[in-house]
Amino acid sequence: MSAVTSGLVCGHHHFYSALARGMPAPPRKPASFREILEYVWWRLDVELDEEIIRWSAMLGAAEALMCGTTAIVDHHESPSCVEGSLSIIAAAAAEVGVRTNLCYGVTDRHGPDGARRGLAENERFLRAGGRGMVGVHAAFTCGDDTLHAAAGLARDLGVGVHIHVAEGPDDAAAGARLEGLAADDWWLVHCVLLDRPLPGTIAHNPRSNMNNSVGYAAPTARPNPIVLGTDGIGADMLEEARLAYVRLREHDIAASPDTVWGWLDNGYALFPEARDDRVTWNYDHADSPWHVAFTQGVRALEIVSGDGDVLLRDGLPTRVDLAEVRAKAAEQAQRLFAHL
Ligand SMILES: [Zn+2]
């Protein structure tokens, strides 16, 4: 007997991080959240091209399926390859069999033309029928004009804005900057240092927050719906839930894993059809938060989508050859590392 659950939802991801593992060390050791962005992520994202984007999404999607994750909210930035980038990711994930909600993270870091191209990519993708939101990197890398333009575009298109909010000290003013712009359909990521209520869903990423040493986001103190994300560190949602639970418990001895599993459940607001995906696990109690919170190595064995397609068999993706995806991704990673 093995437990069967719905497909899991990753509430905030960066597929392009899939190839960052093992990247060369930055020229200087980052000593703050800002330096982690400057020395690691902003050196990496500028090197992303079509093939790197494609194979990082393929690998990220394949690894997600192997963890029982069938739907991903992704936030993408590739300043040297903006136009068409969201379609590349959408196609790659769909090929593997993972549902996506995508956005391009607009920023003023690359000047007004960079921001304009980012907004245009969101608009192009969404108007062509792509599923997603309007992306903004974060308030602290955007001027007010760009924030207003993104909010306006999202309103026009009837979608929310997917934005990092008060993740670290550099973005502590995000609450004041976004007040009056944010709406219920916004996707607010992190909110570690958010100093006031903003409307929207909060994506909580405990592992990333710990890794970046930005502090605890204390999501239970906020009235917003909470979803769980990985912020680019894979898409193993049971692993993230276990970590979210012990981090919550460190903060509140009376906390229950049911709270964290409620955050997983909130992901279906964006992907209702993922509820109909059937994941068979290698553990009889994979449907019980109190069991999974204290059980490592729970793996997905089989996934059948709501449409009846077998996406995972014997723990391996069926639509792509995992070995080939890993080999191609490794080739692209080597190319990326050479540029770094
Ligand atoms: Zn993020």
Q: How far is the CA of 75 from the centre of ligand 1 (A)?
A: 7
Give residue 317's pLDDT. 98
Beta-carbon count within 10 A of 106 CB: 30
| DSSP character string of 51-113 | HHHHHHHHHHHHHHHTTTEEEEEE-B--TTS-TTHHHHHHHHHHHHT-EEEB-BEE-STTHHH
| Collapsed DSSP state (helix, strand, coil) of residue 245 | helix
Contacts of 57 (CB under 8 A, 6+ apart): 15, 16, 18, 88, 89, 92, 93
Q: How far is the CA of 254 from the centre of ligand 1 (A)?
A: 29
Q: How far is the CA of 14 from the centre of ligand 1 (A)?
A: 6
φ, ψ for residue 213, nearest 5 deg: 55, 40
Residue 237 has pLDDT above 80, yes or no: yes
Give residue 218's pLDDT. 98
C-alpha torsion sign, points 113, 114, 115, 120: positive
Question: Tell me: the pLDDT tens digits for 56-105?
Answer: 999 999 999 999 999 999 999 999 999 999 999 999 999 999 999 999 99
Contacts of 317 (CB under 8 A, 6+ apart): 62, 65, 66, 96, 97, 311, 325
Q: How far is the CA of 277 from the centre of ligand 1 (A)?
A: 26
Q: How far is the CA of 5 from the centre of ligand 1 (A)?
A: 27
Q: How far is the CA of 36 from the centre of ligand 1 (A)?
A: 13
Question: Tell me: the pLDDT tens digits for 250-289?
Answer: 999 999 999 999 999 999 999 999 999 999 999 999 999 9
Q: How far is the CA of 34 from the centre of ligand 1 (A)?
A: 14
Q: How far is the CA of 205 from the centre of ligand 1 (A)?
A: 8
Confidence band of 2 (pLDDT split at 50, 70, 90): confident
Assign domain 4-339 one CATH number from 3.40.190.10, 3.60.70.12, 3.30.1120.10, 3.20.20.140: 3.20.20.140
Q: How far is the CA of 231 from the centre of ligand 1 (A)?
A: 4
Give residue 1's pLDDT. 61
Q: How far is the CA of 165 from the centre of ligand 1 (A)?
A: 10
203 in Cβ contact with 227 (< 8 Å): yes
260 in Cβ contact with 233 (< 8 Å): no
Question: Tell me: the pLDDT tens digits for 326-337?
Answer: 999 999 999 999
Q: What's the CA dihedral at 303, 305, 311, 315 to 10 degrees?
A: -10
Give residue 178's pLDDT. 98
Q: How far is the CA of 307 from the centre of ligand 1 (A)?
A: 30
Residue 129 has pLDDT above 80, yes or no: yes
| DSSP character string of 283-296 | STTTT-HHHHTT--
Q: How far is the CA of 210 from the centre of ligand 1 (A)?
A: 13
Q: How far is the CA of 152 from the centre of ligand 1 (A)?
A: 22
φ, ψ for residue 168, nearest 5 deg: -140, 180
Q: How far is the CA of 72 from the centre of ligand 1 (A)?
A: 13
DSSP 39: I
Mean pLDDT of 131-137: 98
DSSP 224: S
Q: How far is the CA of 73 from the centre of ligand 1 (A)?
A: 10
Mean pLDDT of the chain: 97
Question: Tell me: the pLDDT tens digits for 289-339?
Answer: 999 999 999 999 999 999 999 999 999 999 999 999 999 999 999 999 999
The residues spanned by each domain of the chain are 4-339
Q: How far is the CA of 240 from the centre of ligand 1 (A)?
A: 15
Decide: pTM greater than 0.95.
yes
Name the token pair of 67. Answer: 């963890």
Q: How far is the CA of 9 from the centre of ligand 1 (A)?
A: 15
Q: How far is the CA of 275 from the centre of ligand 1 (A)?
A: 24
Q: How far lies 234's CA from each of 65, 174, 251, in Å?
A: 11, 27, 25
